[in-house]
Amino acid sequence: MNAPEPILQPASAEQLPLGNAFGTLPPAFFTRLQPTPMPSPYLVGASASAAASIGLDPGDFQRQDTVEAFAGNRILPGSEPLAAVYSGHQFGVWAGQLGDGRAILLGDVPARAPSPTGRTELQLKGAGLTPYSRMGDGRAVLRSSIREFLCSEAMHALGIPTSRALCVVGSDMLVMRETPETAAVATRMAPSFVRFGSFEHWFYNERQDELRLLADHVIERFYPELRASDNPVEALLREVTRRTAELMAQWQAVGFMHGVMNTDNMSILGLTIDYGPFGFMEAFDARHICNHSDHQGRYAYHMQPKIGQWNCFALGQALLPLIGDVDTTQAALANYGEVYQERFDALLHAKLGLASVEEDDGKLIDALFALLQANHPDYTLFFRRLGELRLDDPGADEPLRDMFIDRPAFDAWAGQYRERLRREASEDGSRRARMHAVNPKYVLRNYLAQVAIEKAQDKDFSEVARLLSVLEKPFDEQPENEHYANLPPDWASSLEVSCSS
């Protein structure tokens, strides 16, 4: 059956032509169920940009019927809600069956923005119990929903592959975490929410027919160009490995830390998904752990590239019965390190404003990260201020030098950097413009999110909207919003984020 044509005029939620391609798989892949209503839902925030990407009129969020729909209280026409089953490795340990414990897929709609299939899935997170909730209550809380909403849209604006967030709907209903908190539902958007763990589920349950069905579904819908390959599943693994390596390079370059890189949180499309205890690097420390539940530091910043590769190997293990032999599977995985290094090097050259490549550039970059590690300057501010460096005026470096305890060490590195820039006849103005186009001024710092959350808990949602507006233009100067780029206040050092949400 052909997918409906994309909507040309902004539509209401009622008019969205919902389908559900994932729901065409056999019943073993999911459970059909209805979301559990929340009492008296209200809109916390909505992304006009995300709405426009599926042809939804942003003004429709002013209607209570629309709020009710994205709270899970009212089912949209054409929707056949379901929760998917999957498994996964959590913190490196096989955890067995997991699944959508609090997420319910509403269906998919035509996408105006680029999408592998021209369609986008809509998923409610926090919409109530499912058969996969285990010991959970199927709910999400307001604080984590706001954080996911803001970070999804921030990452999109940074140009990093990600799921998106359409809206957050809150309620005064209380749920228990460490303390009672109010509940919320976030509506997430992605071409697909199929994960590495979706394949692991069938492999470890020795159900090769379902494993084959899922692989065929993913290739047909999202990688149709691979159908002509001699071994399409091997080609799938190779492509997912490439995308994952590139994603890890993008995370590292911008200083993003996911916090819970379990295989059930890894997208088969190479997207950033399942925002939980994430963080953006502030005072640089390669061993920084953003997730206070990660007691062993498995998902620390410097570990992310290695864990990305480990997860690809876990996916390769799951796909081995379809690929056919170990050597072919290992060959499909072998490109990870090279792809990661090439992309990371390219991103660092751009961040440093280098327009050419020299043999010893790696030494300059390594020396920079050693300098950052020894002095712990703010990662985002350092690269932004580095764009202001003048080739022939070291005296203008003071705002940059002030970020370093060991100023002579900075001066020594800056001297090497200037020499490198002179060798390619770099010009201050054009280099500054290039660097500011790739080094964001604004990222979602934990304290900024916390301020928005605390106001929202008092029913003041204005800061959620303001912060979203700032994060949608991360590379712009935005003089009226200068304070959003400030160093975190002292109280921010006590903030903790964990898996509890």
Question: Has residue 415 got a pLDDT over 80?
Answer: yes
- My answer on whether 184 and 219 are in the same domain is no
Question: Has residue 489 got a pLDDT over 90?
Answer: no
At 217-263, the pLDDT tens digits run 999 999 999 999 999 999 999 999 999 999 999 999 999 999 999 99
177 appears as a binding residue in the annotation: no
What is the predicted pLDDT for the residue at 5? 46
At 114-126, the pLDDT tens digits run 777 799 999 999 9
Would you say 162 and 272 are in contact if contact means Cβ atoms under 8 Å apart?
yes
20 appears as a binding residue in the annotation: no
> How many Cα atoms are found within 13 Å in the side-chain-facing hemisphere of 138?
17
Q: Respond yes or no: is residue 230 known to be catalytic.
A: no
- My answer on whether 49 and 159 are in the same domain is yes
161 in a domain, yes or no?
A: yes
- My answer on whether 125 and 233 are in the same domain is no
Task: Write down the mean pLDDT value for the chain.
Answer: 95
Residue at a domain's end among 146, 170, 193: 193
475 in a domain, yes or no?
A: no
428 appears as a binding residue in the annotation: no
- As a whole-number percent, the residues of the chain with pLDDT over 70 amount to 97
Compute the CA torsion angle 36, 39, 43, 44 (nearest 10 deg): -90
Give 40's contacts (C-beta < 8 A, 6+ positions apart).
Answer: 171, 172
Tell me how far apart the alpha carbons of residues 282 and 380 are, in angstroms, rounded to a whole number. Answer: 7
At 264-306, the pLDDT tens digits run 999 999 999 999 999 999 999 999 999 999 999 999 999 999 9
450 in a domain, yes or no?
A: no
Hunting for tokens 């925030």 — which residue is that? Answer: 45
54 in a domain, yes or no?
A: yes
The pLDDT confidence band at residue 396, using thresholds 50, 70 and 90, is confident
Q: What is the total count of domains within the chain?
A: 3
- My answer on whether 189 and 211 are in the same domain is no
- My answer on whether 170 and 187 are in the same domain is yes
- My answer on whether 172 and 36 are in the same domain is yes
Tell me how far apart the alpha carbons of residues 254 and 56 are, in angstroms, rounded to a whole number. Answer: 31
Taking residues 4-12, what's their average pLDDT? 63
Residue at a domain's end among 344, 364, 396: 344
Give 393's contacts (C-beta < 8 A, 6+ positions apart).
Answer: none
- My answer on whether 216 and 320 are in the same domain is yes
1 in a domain, yes or no?
A: no
Residue at a domain's end among 168, 193, 218: 193
What is the predicted pLDDT for the residue at 500? 62
107 appears as a binding residue in the annotation: no
432 appears as a binding residue in the annotation: no
Crossing angle for the helix pair 361-375 and 407-423, to the nearest 10 degrees: 160
491 in a domain, yes or no?
A: no
- My answer on whether 179 and 223 are in the same domain is no
At 93-104, the pLDDT tens digits run 999 999 999 999
374 in a domain, yes or no?
A: yes
Would you say 404 and 377 are in contact if contact means Cβ atoms under 8 Å apart?
yes
Kindly state the tokens that stand for 472.
């949608």
Crossing angle for the helix pair 304-323 and 196-204, to the nearest 10 degrees: 50
- My answer on whether 232 and 330 are in the same domain is yes
What is the predicted pLDDT for the residue at 6? 47
Domain that residue 232 falls in? 197-344
327 appears as a binding residue in the annotation: no
Q: Which of 57, 60, 100, 264 is catalytic?
A: 264
- My answer on whether 169 and 265 are in the same domain is no
248 in a domain, yes or no?
A: yes
- My answer on whether 19 and 143 are in the same domain is yes
- My answer on whether 73 and 221 are in the same domain is no
At 298-337, the pLDDT tens digits run 999 999 999 999 999 999 999 999 999 999 999 999 999 9
Tell me how far apart the alpha carbons of residues 399 and 160 are, in angstroms, rounded to a whole number. Answer: 29
188 appears as a binding residue in the annotation: yes
What is the predicted pLDDT for the residue at 115? 75
DSSP letters along 236-294, please? HHHHHHHHHHHHHHHHHHHTEE-S---GGGBBTTS-B---SS-EE--B--TT----TT-
**Nearest CA-CA partner of 195 in 134, 327, 105:** 105
What is the predicted pLDDT for the residue at 288? 97
Tell me how far apart the alpha carbons of residues 248 and 501 are, in angstroms, rounded to a whole number. Answer: 24
- Sign (positive/negative) of CA torsion 53, 13, 454, 183? negative
The pLDDT confidence band at residue 2, using thresholds 50, 70 and 90, is very low
Taking residues 473-493, what's their average pLDDT? 93
Tell me how far apart the alpha carbons of residues 154 and 468 are, in angstroms, rounded to a whole number. Answer: 8
